[in-house]
Amino acid sequence: MLKAVVDGVDPDGTTVARLMTRHVVTVTPDWEVYEAAAEMIARRFRHLVVVEEGTVIGVVSMRDVLLAGKRVELSDGNWAVLRDPLTFTVRERRALQRYLMRLRDLPPGEAGADLIGLLVGAWSYDPQAEDFSDALRALPEQDYATLSRAVLAEVPKLQRAVHPAPRWRSRSARAARSA
């Protein structure tokens, strides 16, 4: 549709058949996120149709892939996904800010179960659970340590998510006044 508008095609007088993609690339739900991203990059498009047993069950977009988070390999072939702070709600951003402030009081190399739970949470465990501390306590010690290191590596990115660059409000206000 965007290409049609750029090309000057009248959307009111054009049929979908004229604008649609004819040879759609499909994937199945068992594809890994990195496989979907590689396919989209290789073929230079932003969406993949997800099909199961000949039925379209959804569409995955490049935006979905970008928001999927960072995969952390654990022992025995298991893995967890760290959420990107762009996907956080306002309430989660406030919690993130509190957890980041608590990092000062923790021993070096320890991220804290609250912060790990916020970043891993429903993306890797039962989405119905409110508190992921039980699931985190059940992890083998080496997996918990791996998650803690991965979360600590993300701290600068997390801090930028809750604390924008200094004076960003004054710069944007000046820009608005001069416009």
Closest residue by Cα to residue 100 from 146, 157, 62, 166: 157
Q: Which of 25-29, 82-86, 108-112, 131-135 has the lowest mean pLDDT?
A: 131-135
Name the average pLDDT for the chain: 80
Helices (H), the chain: 2-6, 16-19, 33-43, 62-66, 90-102, 113-124, 133-137, 141-153, 155-162, 168-178
Q: Which of 3-12, 21-30, 32-41, 131-140 has the lowest mean pLDDT?
A: 131-140
Q: Going by C-beta distance under 8 Å and a sequence separation of 6 or more, which residues neighbour residue 136?
A: 113, 116, 117, 120, 144, 147
In the chain the first and final C-alpha atoms are separated, in Å, by: 32
Torsion of CA 10, 13, 17, 20, to 10 degrees: 20
128 confidence band (pLDDT: 50, 70, 90): low
- What pLDDT score does 125 carry? 58
CATH says 2-66 is which class? Answer: alpha beta
126 confidence band (pLDDT: 50, 70, 90): low
- What pLDDT score does 166 carry? 57
Is the predicted pLDDT of residue 127 greater than 70, yes or no? Answer: no
Does residue 127 sit in helix, strand or coil?
Answer: coil
Is the predicted pLDDT of residue 51 greater than 90, yes or no? Answer: yes
pLDDT, greater one: 101 or 133: 101
State what percent of residues in the chain have pLDDT above 70: 81
- What pLDDT score does 1 carry? 72
Burial of 89 (0-12, 13-18, 19+ CB in 10 A): exposed
Element containing residue 68 per DSSP (H, E): none
Phi-psi region of 131 (alpha: psi -120 to 50; beta: other; left: phi over 0): beta
